Amino acid sequence: MSIQEELNTTIADLVRPGRGILAADESTPTIAKRFSAVGVESTEASRREYRSLIFSTPGLGEHISGVILYEETLQQLSLEDVAIPRLLCNQGIVPGIKVDMGKGPLVNAPGDEITYGLDGLSSRLERYKSLGARFAKWRDVFHISDVLPSSQAIRSNAEVLARYAAVCQAMGIVPIVEPEVLMDGPHSISRAADVSEEVLLEVFKALHRHQVSLEQMVLKPSMVTPGKASRRASPEEVAHATLAVFRRAVPAAVPGIFFLSGGQTPEEATDNLNALNRLEEAPWALSFSYGRALQEPAQKAWAGQRSNAGATQAALIKRARLNGLARSGAYAPLMEADD
């Protein structure tokens, strides 16, 4: 299969109707925080047990098209000694991999950050592909204040995202491009819209400059929401503000927009996605790539006890099913009470 055929096949598998992406690529420090919240110590064994349980959830492939893995997980065996990528493939789910190396301060831009990991990316991608990964993910973040993000931060992070995406496509790996406009702070939804539009326009300018094929990538952005310390917006407000920005900034050639949850509760993330899909038809598939908004109920049900496997999987499949419905605007909040 040629590189172009590989990319097209992966895109087709990821954007299937009624499905989204499960982001299970938490770094070791991040998963430790998640586990601590449910009273579990994060060890290699506990991480392997939890992820093996959720990835083997019966019927998961009916609602999840892809899973973003952390490097440790990509190399692990399940509780039944099946390679995790193979376990996912057996469910009809595409394995993916987080490839950025985290973020840090952007020099001469106080308050802004930049993401690391371009050095050695090609060799890492080659190894990840040999282990079964067919797509990759890279996250850059943008802080909002009266003066942030700076123009320097927007341009620098856009350049990094584009360089990463170009390397991925050259190796037959579909890139997920994730420019996250953070919810932290008291900013209004209008301020979030302005920043989101500026960021997206610069990202696509950089992608064009690096000759990235828009038809063979996935965008993973934030929805346009007010800051956490601001007035809460209704799902309809979020949907209208988000689509207004994206229609101006995202080319129709992009096959899928898989929104991150970005600090929303599981219910909010589902409700907002549903509202987006109830508006007039968009030129892209509007789906989800949620981490905590899919996994939080499952982690609470698991609580580190293998005997809770059934409850863990039931909690995950419920959220996956509800978001699968929201993918087509068929979700209703009353469904939250269903078993």
Q: Residue type at 226?
A: P
Q: List, by residue number, the catalytic residues.
A: 178, 220
Could you write out the three-class secondary structure of the chain? Answer: CCHHHHHHHHHHHHCCCCCEEEEECCCHHHHHHHHHHCCCCCCHHHHHHHHHHHHCCCCHHHCEEEEEECHHHHCCECCCCCEHHHHHHCCCCEEEEECCCCEEECCCCCCCEEECCCCCHHHHHHHHHHCCCCEEEEEEEECCCCCCCCHHHHHHHHHHHHHHHHHHHHCCCEEEEEEEECCCCCCCHHHHHHHHHHHHHHHHHHHHHCCCCHHHCEECCCCCCCCCCCCCCCHHHHHHHHHHHHHHHCCCCCCEEEECCCCCCHHHHHHHHHHHHHCCCCCCEEEEEECHHHHHHHHHHHCCCHHHHHHHHHHHHHHHHHHHHHCCCCCCHHHHHCC
Contact predicate 272/223, CB 8 Å = yes
Q: Residue type at 69?
A: L
Structure tokens at 263: 């600090």
Per DSSP bridges, beta strands 94-98 and 135-142 are parallel
